[in-house]
Amino acid sequence: MYFKQFYDTDLAQGGYLIGCQQAGVAVVVDPRRDIGVYLADAEANGLRIAAVTETHIHADYLSGSRELAAATGAALYLSDEGGPDWRYPLAHEPLVHGTTFDVGNIRLEAVHTPGHTPEHMMFLVSDLPRSEQPVLALTGDFVFVGDLGRPDLLDEAAGYVDTRFEGAQRLFESLKRHFVTLPDHVQVWPGHGAGSACGKALGAVASTTVGYEKLTAWWASYVANNDLDGFVAELLDGQPDAPNYFGRMKRQNRDGPALLGRREPLTEMSAADLRAA
């Protein structure tokens, strides 16, 4: 299995390319709109991008999922959970809780983990020649290193009222049902790091493990003690104001950012060229 994180420090955003070298195919999860980095890395490693997916409808950056699928002919897998307001109108392969798809010898299982957003998916990744058990969890904006995705963005950015409380409760249930039940060794690779506005106290290191988060994360004792009220109060306390553009960005990503197509390289201009212009 080939695995690489692409981290944009300006966005504090992580996307992932996972490849099967034997079959020469790969999947990209949560690509940003500058798709050149994924195309170049796949080519350098003899991989064809056969699938593209994302954990949820992003609010903080324009997604490159549609662009990358169009450029490569890859299948586009998107969540069909979350209700009619949060379903993608784009043509896609639908993902519901428990859906699996294989890319060569790599298997991804979509796990519906609402809370940050209604349609959110976590992807459990298995390297089938070694084991059908997951080795990686791509958690998107569900579980970060040391923190959780904020549940108030529909209120803050999309014009909803008091959905933060339901979101916090659903996040608590997602943790209980789908995260703390995973084996401790599973690696956790989130969608954001320190500096992102999608949480309030994200860690600066790139990854963690399920077991380490259960031992050290602020939320772990609330879940272990089934203390929903304490969890909700702590989660909602001190969340920063969401940037104004988040609401517009979510609508654009849901409906599909306009395709850019092939772009010619930028021309470097000399001082003389600029004077003449």
Tokens of 262: 């092939």
Whether 173 contacts 230, CB under 8 Å? no
- Residue 240 has what pLDDT? 76
Tokens of 208: 């963690």
- Residue 159 has what pLDDT? 59
- Residue 246 has what pLDDT? 83
Alpha-carbon torsion 213, 219, 220, 223, what sign? negative
Q: What is the pLDDT along the chain (277 residues), one digit of tens a residue?
A: 999 999 999 989 999 999 999 999 999 999 999 999 999 999 999 999 999 999 999 999 999 999 999 999 999 999 999 988 889 999 999 999 999 999 999 999 999 999 999 999 999 999 999 999 999 999 999 999 999 998 887 665 555 656 889 999 999 999 999 999 999 999 999 999 987 767 777 788 999 999 999 999 999 999 999 999 999 999 999 887 777 888 888 889 999 999 998 888 888 999 999 999 9
> Where does the chain show beta strands of DSSP type E?
2-8, 13-20, 25-29, 48-53, 75-79, 93-95, 100-103, 106-112, 121-127, 136-140, 143-144, 147-148, 187-190, 208-209
DSSP 86-101: GS--S--EEE-TT-EE
Distance separating alpha carbons of residues 185 and 31, to the nearest angstrom: 26
Domains along the chain? 2-261 (3.60.15.10)
Distance separating alpha carbons of residues 226 and 7, to the nearest angstrom: 35
Q: Within 13 A of 148's CA, how many CA atoms are on the CB side? A: 33
48-53/187-190 β-pairing: unpaired
